[in-house]
Structure 1
Amino acid sequence: MIPTKVPSLPVPVVRLVGAGFAYEDGPAVLSGVDFAVAEGRAVALLGRNGGGKTTLLRLLSGGLRCGSGSLLLDGAEVAYDRKGLTRLRTSVQLVVQDPDDQLFAASVGQDVSFGPTNLGLPEEEVRLRVAEALEALDITALADRPTHLLSYGQRKRAAIAGAVAMRPRVLMMDEPTAGLDPHGQERLLDALRRLREAGTTVLMATHDVDLALRWADEAAVLSPAGLRTGPVAELLADDALLDAARLRRPWGTAVARLLRARGLLDAGAPEPRTPEDLDVWLGSAATPLVTE
């Protein structure tokens, strides 16, 4: 009998294996965490305040070093020396929650150019990367604007552009929509959509379960019991998990349950994840969300 060859799974871009971390003189924030970020995905990282989301992002980006366990990039353990961290940060970039903690140059263009310049790239390549990043975040017109004259939403997008100019394979963001009005959120999500279409993997820490359900492919939920990962709709329909992580039920999940309870939506039908989805369905009386 000829053995069947099982196709090998792709190696995650970045991965924590048995990772643990505690701040000085404090209890463990994370313990025994296994978490992999695969190419081409949109992942929402959710959990309660103080549950370890920001710490997890900083471990993945090399800003913090695992107290136990290890960090892998393309299957190889990351060395925390200059060469190892440079290699990591050309593949993985973190945008922190407050853009004022990240922006420091006099103008937007100068700030966005900082990372590529530090890589020692030729001036022409730096200019190209800056132009691409500004265009991707729809802030080309702000290239010469002093950073202190930007609105909060503009500062958010400028901070992300600085990370994008590094051309990372994985872009991680800590609460990127916090403090933005609805219009600002939509502009940011549109920019993230373009980045994903260009091949960037995006990991977003957020408290917004409705945003996670609408935007992400997968979810990673931190609770006192540990980290659980899986399809976003599946995890955000788990009441026990949401209670443990102190998260509310997403609007779309609640609506889908109501529709199913009334016999309007069966288990195999697509769920309306946003009010817009529901509005489309309500306007299509001839095509209810029930499979035959």
Structure 2
Amino acid sequence: MIPLRVREIGYAYEDGPTVLSGLSLTIAQGRALALLGPNGSGKTTLLRLLTGGLVPNAGTVELRGEPIRHDRKGLTALRRTVQLVVQDPDDQLFSASVAQDVSFGPLNLGLEPAEVRSRVAEALTALDITALAERPVHLLSFGQRKRVAIAGAIAMRPEVLVLDEPTAGLDPAGQEALLNTLAELREAGTTVVMATHDVDLALRWADDAAVLAHGRLHTGPADDLLADTELLAAASLRPTWAHAAAAVLRAHGLLPEGGFPRTPAELAALAVRTG
């Protein structure tokens, strides 16, 4: 079953230009999808269409093969399955304490108090913020607030987790911690969609990629799509570090065709083996 799909979707903001036109995208169950493109290309708009925050002017968004209904019942069903975490956590957090904020979604589902407590504890543990449970949200660092926003989404136990630039503003340690959490969620069966400008992160993390360029959406396996330097240039994205390094290594006979190092640690390991 395909959990989420858009068909020939179009969207224009009121009194503004067309942002998306005729775009189609299939989000495969259990996969990690990176959505890339320049500022203003429509990445955030597409994420909001996927999660019911915007209604398309044309085309359809489908949940398990059925068009989304933008009424109370339809959106409730969508949000049981798909959760969006926006780029700025301050746009998403509003409760007095961390635990209260994370419990908001499950409470709105009408779950029993014991189930709500269980989900909150599980989400706080997953994001390694259990110690912050009673901390006022306004006293948290930016990175901590990001983790709380993600914990609130995880507490809903979605099949699809959609993240808009989740690593923006995080230091390297915070980015690694977040990626570890996402890896654990994927192992548990969660489908993850991430909008990002970071081509190296996308290559390292994603199974599939979708690149917005000149109003078109190009999709495919991340390894293949992110090796297309012409496509990346059209989307105002630089070539990936890994592909550039692999080209140099192959030119010197140090790397066979096929696999390539995706991180500095993998490059260092390769240097040890070939050195």
TM-score (norm 1): 0.92
Mapping 1:212-291, distance limit 5 Å: 212-268=202-258, 270-285=259-274
Q: Corresponding residue for 1:50?
A: 40
Q: Corresponding residue for 1:74?
A: 64
Q: Corresponding residue for 1:3?
A: none
Q: Corresponding residue for 1:289?
A: none
The Cα of 1:263 is off from its aligned counterpart by: 2.4
Q: Corresponding residue for 2:92?
A: 102
Q: Corresponding residue for 1:162?
A: 152
Q: Secondary structure at the match of 2:274?
A: coil
The Cα of 1:246 is off from its aligned counterpart by: 0.3
Q: Does 1:184 align with 2:174?
A: yes
Q: Does 1:138 align with 2:128?
A: yes
Taking the aligned partners of 2:225 and 2:205, their CA distance within structure 1 comes to 14
The Cα of 1:225 is off from its aligned counterpart by: 4.4
Q: Corresponding residue for 2:189?
A: 199
Alignment counterpart, residue 175 of structure 1, candidates 137, 160, 165: 165
- Structure 2 gaps of 5+ residues are none
The residue type equivalent to 1:64 in the other structure is L
Taking the aligned partners of 1:208 and 1:217, their CA distance within structure 2 comes to 15
Q: Corresponding residue for 1:7?
A: none
Q: Secondary structure at the match of 1:166?
A: coil
Alignment counterpart, residue 101 of structure 2, candidates 107, 111, 123: 111
Taking the aligned partners of 2:113 and 2:215, their CA distance within structure 1 comes to 49
The residue type equivalent to 1:245 in the other structure is A
Count, aligned residues:
275
Taking the aligned partners of 2:98 and 2:131, their CA distance within structure 1 comes to 10
The residue type equivalent to 1:280 in the other structure is A
* Identity in percent: 66
Taking the aligned partners of 1:136 and 1:281, their CA distance within structure 2 comes to 32
Cα RMSD, aligned residues only: 1.0
Q: Corresponding residue for 1:8?
A: none
Mapping 1:9-24, distance limit 5 Å: 11-24=1-14
The Cα of 1:12 is off from its aligned counterpart by: 1.4
Bigger radius of gyration, 1 or 2? 1
- Structure 1 gaps of 5+ residues are 1-10, 287-292
TM-score (norm 2): 0.98
Q: Secondary structure at the match of 1:284?
A: helix
Deviations 1:104-159 (A, max 9, x none): 00000000000000011111111111111111111111111100011111100000
